[in-house]
Chains A and B, each alone.
Chain A
Amino acid sequence: MSSELCRVNNLTRVFNKGARDVVVLNGLNFSINEGETFCVVGESGCGKSTTGRILAGLLQPTAGDVWFRGVNLSERSKKQVKAFRKEVQMIHQDPYASLNPTRRIFDILSYPLLRHRRGMDYGELLESVSDLLTKVGLTPVEDFLDKYPHQLSGGQRQRVSIARALTVDPKFIVVDEATSMIDTSLKISLLDTLTKLQTELGVTYFFITHDLALAKHFAWNGRIAVMYLGEIVELASAQHLIQAPQHPYTKALLSALPEADPQVTRTKKRFELTGHEIPSLDNLPTGCKFHPRCPWNVKGLCGVNAPSLQSFNGSCSVACHVVHGESHKN
């Protein structure tokens, strides 16, 4: 269980916007163990989807390396690329854009099977596809096989996306906000399906979401990384992060989350930030990127030096000068 599946070293990604460079990921370091759930949370634009796409091999890093099963992704042979494609799958965020509109659901789900498991006849294909659709709750199966994506709702499309990722029995799945359009009750049962695959087959997940409560549920025994403007600001086991957040940004996110209990949610203690707008990636703040919104901001320190992700109390990693006591303020 504890062997390392995937590691990123100093992962950096820069996009070009006209003549300017926009740094979307800035020197990420983490590793994911086999059978683990690694969850990433953060606001839009923090780089969580970009990280996921690089891990799935859909995007090349500008600098830094990604290692998968001890092989550097940029130095793979053709054979290793094909094996990687079968082992690593991604469930995309937008089910309106990621399903081919001219193909029926049956075609969408049978194509990967034909590609990676040659020699299946029509009966076997139909059986596998029906199994997949049942797994994600699209029943009765006959109603869906011949439909086109435009005939399905957002939630149904997301379920087709999930089924498609499961077709080739992957070992590592990048799940990018895959349940955002699905109703709560079904969401929980789909996530339970994914968890079941993990216990049975040892699948590893890289789970991207902006919902901390959902992250906590799905990554119960795993870890959560909180990202802000291209950097990890806190990384800890899921339960620890929710119960004892250290970084001011994590505290703000947790205290802003509405809860499904009127008494709890209306009396919740807020962690107030000093700024509401997330800075533009074009024009990033100097020093700690969070300092313009941070109530703990120390003049002459936070705006000048960028803190690095360091272990704190042996239980989590935090990137914050104040947490690490590098200032006298508490």
Chain B
Amino acid sequence: MQTSVAKQERPLRLRVSNLSITYKTHRGILHAVRNASFEAWEKESLVFIGESGCGKTTLCTSLVGMQPVNATPIGGTVKYFGEDREYSILEMSDKQLAKIRWKDIAMMFQASQNAFNPVILMKEHFIDTAQSHLVGQSRKAILDKSRKLLELVRLDADRVLNSYPHELSGGMKQRALLALSFLLDPKVIIFDEPTTALDVLTQRYIIDILRDLRDKFSFCMLFITHDLSVAAELADTVVTMYAGQIVEKAPVGEIFSNPKHPYTAGLIQAVPTLSSTHEDLKSIPGSTPDLVDMAAGCQFAPRCKFATALCLKEEPQLVEVGPNHVTACHHHEYIPPIVKKG
């Protein structure tokens, strides 16, 4: 767990302020992300958790300007701080964005191991990627670097480079993609559920590799998952999202032992673990709110056992409840710490 002092010594990579994104749907305007603000520093790993439809993918795709076409950022700013200058992502044209995507900010989408072109060899993927960003690099130089990266993700480099994507297993493709995402030394890498489709042993393997690589290349990692155990493994800071809003943000050790938002607490109590007993698990009652026709007050109130009349009337704002720990709950002081199991 890091202190705020340690944080400030490292350069800031991303600053998102008051970002709101809406979708146009046939029913009306859908508020996918509301007023999201966060910062990400070099070497930090920020894990976004929340149920599907909470806006985590919309938020993270907008950081590289790759949100779906019907999504409109209606307010706020996204600043990326590169080596020599800063960029305002939301104001950049597609052409400008194409230059920094993959080179400065790489993004691995959900199930993107299936995005390899099936009719070209793996090595052509590496060469294409490098040549579209760095003009004049020789094939040999690119392949040498690719080989090193593939070895870092513990793959047989020569075999992989000379294979077609279908000749590799899902886990191998995932690792090859990981190697490809490091090819241009990005400063920020966004991972959207990279381990969901994988077996336990492969998942463990990729988690270990990610941790090693981050120590080596000191990139900043934004990680989207709905699997809390992956968050517990990889996060420095955990960000909980609910109904398009960031409702809690805290260092990983703090959030798992002392969550201050009832939704985070509910999520933690719903995950089966090897040490939990059958009776320990509780699901959160109710379902996620409608993001088109939004109710007043706290969006979580209808599912919350701490809710009062105040919650239904007034939307809580993020308040500081500890070092680097913010939560948006009127009644955060009543939420008991998580009782350790076993």
Q: Are B256 and A260 in contact (CB under 8 A)?
A: yes
Contact A137-B287, Cβ < 8 Å, known A210-B199, A256-B204:
yes
Q: Which residue of B199, B205, B278, B287 contacts A44 across the interface (Cβ within 8 Å)?
A: B199
> For chain B residues 252-305, which have a beta carbon within 8 Å of chain A?
252-253, 256, 266-268, 270-276, 278, 281-284, 287
Please report the C-alpha to C-alpha distance between residue A291 and residue B226 in the assembled complex, in whole angstroms. Answer: 35
Q: Are B154 and A257 in contact (CB under 8 A)?
A: no
Highest count of chain A CB atoms <10 Å: which of B232, B276, B284: B232
Q: Are A264 and B201 in contact (CB under 8 A)?
A: no
Please report the C-alpha to C-alpha distance between residue A186 and residue B202 in the assembled complex, in whole angstroms. Answer: 26
Please report the C-alpha to C-alpha distance between residue A188 and residue B282 in the assembled complex, in whole angstroms. Answer: 7
Q: Which residue of B230, B266, B268, B274 contacts A216 across the interface (Cβ within 8 Å)?
A: B274
Could you mark each residue 68-85 of chain B with 1 if its beta carbon is under 8 Å from any beta carbon of chain A, else 0?
A: 000000000000000000
Cβ of B207 under 8 Å from chain A: yes
Cβ of A258 under 8 Å from chain B: yes
Cβ of A254 under 8 Å from chain B: yes
Q: Are A257 and B274 in contact (CB under 8 A)?
A: yes
> For chain A residues 207-248, which have a beta carbon within 8 Å of chain B?
210-214, 216-217, 220, 242
Please report the C-alpha to C-alpha distance between residue A78 and residue B53 in the assembled complex, in whole angstroms. Answer: 47
Q: Are A185 and B283 in contact (CB under 8 A)?
A: yes
Q: Which residue of A188, A192, A257 contacts B229 across the interface (Cβ within 8 Å)?
A: A257
Q: Are A262 and B226 in contact (CB under 8 A)?
A: no
Using Cβ atoms and an 8 Å threshold, which residues of chain A touch B205? 276
Q: Are B272 and A216 in contact (CB under 8 A)?
A: yes
Q: Are A188 and B270 in contact (CB under 8 A)?
A: yes
Query: In the complex, which range does the number of interface residues on chain B fall in?
Result: 35 or more
Q: Are A189 and B283 in contact (CB under 8 A)?
A: yes
Please report the C-alpha to C-alpha distance between residue A109 and residue B78 in the assembled complex, in whole angstroms. Answer: 46
Q: Which residue of B154, B200, B202, B252 contacts A212 across the interface (Cβ within 8 Å)?
A: B200
Please report the C-alpha to C-alpha distance between residue A259 and residue B341 in the assembled complex, in whole angstroms. Answer: 12
Please report the C-alpha to C-alpha distance between residue A280 and residue B281 in the assembled complex, in whole angstroms. Answer: 38
Cβ of B228 under 8 Å from chain A: yes
Nearest chain A residue, comparing its CB with the CB of B277: A220
Cβ of B51 under 8 Å from chain A: yes
Cβ of B162 under 8 Å from chain A: no
Q: Which residue of B252, B287, B340 contacts A139 across the interface (Cβ within 8 Å)?
A: B287
Q: Are A264 and B275 in contact (CB under 8 A)?
A: yes
Q: Can you list 22 A-B pairs, Cβ within 8 angstroms, ordered by A? A: A44-B199, A184-B226, A184-B267, A185-B267, A187-B270, A188-B283, A213-B272, A216-B272, A217-B276, A220-B278, A242-B274, A258-B203, A259-B229, A260-B229, A260-B271, A261-B232, A262-B232, A262-B252, A262-B253, A264-B273, A273-B201, A276-B154
Nearest chain B residue, comparing its CB with the CB of A46: B199
Please report the C-alpha to C-alpha distance between residue A260 and residue B341 in the assembled complex, in whole angstroms. Answer: 11
Could you mark each residue 256-292 of chain A with 1 if its beta carbon is under 8 Å from any beta carbon of chain B, else 0?
A: 1111111111100000010011100000000000000
Cβ of A183 under 8 Å from chain B: yes
Nearest chain B residue, comparing its CB with the CB of A266: B233
Using Cβ atoms and an 8 Å threshold, which residues of chain B touch A278? 169
Please report the C-alpha to C-alpha distance between residue A32 and residue B107 in the assembled complex, in whole angstroms. Answer: 46
Cβ of A309 under 8 Å from chain B: no
Please report the C-alpha to C-alpha distance between residue A43 and residue B200 in the assembled complex, in whole angstroms. Answer: 7
Other than the given A184-B227, A188-B283, A252-B201, 17 more pairs (CB < 8 A) read: A139-B287, A183-B52, A184-B228, A188-B270, A189-B283, A213-B229, A213-B271, A213-B274, A216-B274, A217-B276, A258-B229, A260-B256, A261-B232, A262-B235, A262-B252, A263-B256, A264-B232
